[in-house]
């Protein structure tokens, strides 16, 4: 009897991915809230959620001839909303501190950090 081909992610990998994404997403929200306050965080979340239907529609339109499973689309958006935002927050903060030490001007460092 031939061995059955393994398809999809195992439950352990999916659980680890979910925990990583949730923890980095919550940490990012806490870091941003400590910088801009709760009102700024709420306004930013509202503004960030407005274009999501457009992006989902574009992704589905591009994928119309050979559609992938909806779980892959959801995973891509979940990754982009959590882990990718956290990593870019860290890199932008680090770059801003490097430019602040190099130039000594906070406005220049903020402009060039991103």
**Residues in the chain where the model's pLDDT stays below 70:** 1-9
Residue 60 lies in a domain: yes
pTM: 0.75
Structure tokens at 68: 């992938």
Q: Would you say how long the chain is, in residues?
A: 114
How many folded domains does the chain comprise? 1
Closest CA to 60 of 83, 77, 80: 77
Structure tokens at 12: 């352990």
In this prediction, residue 5 carries a pLDDT of 60
Enclosing domain of residue 58: 22-113
Residue 11 lies in a domain: no
In this prediction, residue 73 carries a pLDDT of 86
Residue 70 lies in a domain: yes
In this prediction, residue 8 carries a pLDDT of 61
What's the Cα-to-Cα distance from 38 to each of 34, 45, 48, 78, 83, rounded to whole Å?
8, 10, 15, 22, 21
Residue 89 lies in a domain: yes
In this prediction, residue 75 carries a pLDDT of 87
| Long-range pairs for 42-51: beta carbons < 8 A, 24 or more residues apart | none
In this prediction, residue 94 carries a pLDDT of 93
In this prediction, residue 1 carries a pLDDT of 56
């Amino acid at each position: 009897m031939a061995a059955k081909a393994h398809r999809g992610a195992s439950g352990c990998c999916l659980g680890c991915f979910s925990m990583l994404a949730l923890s980095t997403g919550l940490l990012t929200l806490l870091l941003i809230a400590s910088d801009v306050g709760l009102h700024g965080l709420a306004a930013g979340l509202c503004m960030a959620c407005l274009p999501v239907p457009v992006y989902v529609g574009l992704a589905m339109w591009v994928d119309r001839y050979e559609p992938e499973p909806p779980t892959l689309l959801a995973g891509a958006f979940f990754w982009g909303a959590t882990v990718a935002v956290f990593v870019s927050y860290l890199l932008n903060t680090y770059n801003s501190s490097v430019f602040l030490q190099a130039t000594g001007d906070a406005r220049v460092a903020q402009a060039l950090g991103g």
